[in-house]
Chain A
Amino acid sequence: MITNRIRDLRYAHGQMTQQALAERIGVTRQTINAIEGDKYSPSLEVAFRISAVFEVPLEEVFKFVPAAQIKTS
């Protein structure tokens, strides 16, 4: 499973709205909402665009959590 820190990063960047982020990377606000809620794993292109908006490396936005780790936690 892929988790992310998009919500935290948005607030750290002047409380950026989901709509503002969506417009900057060219997706719908509902897609940002789905990504934040871990309901959708974005394509590599969208993932890189998100990290570019926040000016941080990709691994600071997204983190891969193995399924076994999710079950034990």
Chain B
Amino acid sequence: MNSVSQYESTIWSSLIMTVAAAAYFFSKVFGAMAAGAPLDPGQIARLGFAVVVILVAVEVAFQVAMTVWCRRQPQTDERDRLIAAKATRNAYYVLITGLFLLIGHLGVQSLTGWAPVLLLDTPTTVIFLVFALVIAEVAQFVSRILYYRRGL
């Protein structure tokens, strides 16, 4: 008996696509940072925009394919809504942790001139903000899957 609902399948696909897109984007950006190359904000913005457009297009195509394959929209109920709420709460904790780390780092850097991890200029700060958002989104998908698998 298939225990994975159509709705849960879409969460798995979103997780895989988000991780793949983020891995591609951040490998390029962090690779350039590690090589000591100066970051070109315009180039990073174009890369990020292209990745988001491709991600959205693939996600929409997958959702349409799933709807056609299953011959109906994914059905949700109170358990799906509770799982979504708890997963969003977990993602919020991850995002807040990331933001506090970034703000703390920026605070130390601006007050003392010393960078605990990495000298954060504006493009680098934006990249780490996006990184925190992506990690929070991944945490949300992983939380959902764990709640579906292990129970609430």
Contacts and interface: CB of A to CB of B under 8 A. Distances in A.
B40 interface: no
A30 interface: yes
Nearest to A23: B75
Contacts of B151: 34, 37-40
Interface residues of B, number: 16
B10 to A, nearest CB: 13
Contacts of A40: 79, 151-152
Contacts, number: 39
Interface string B140-152: 0000000010111
Interface in B103-152: 148, 150-152
Contacts of B148: 30
A53 interface: no
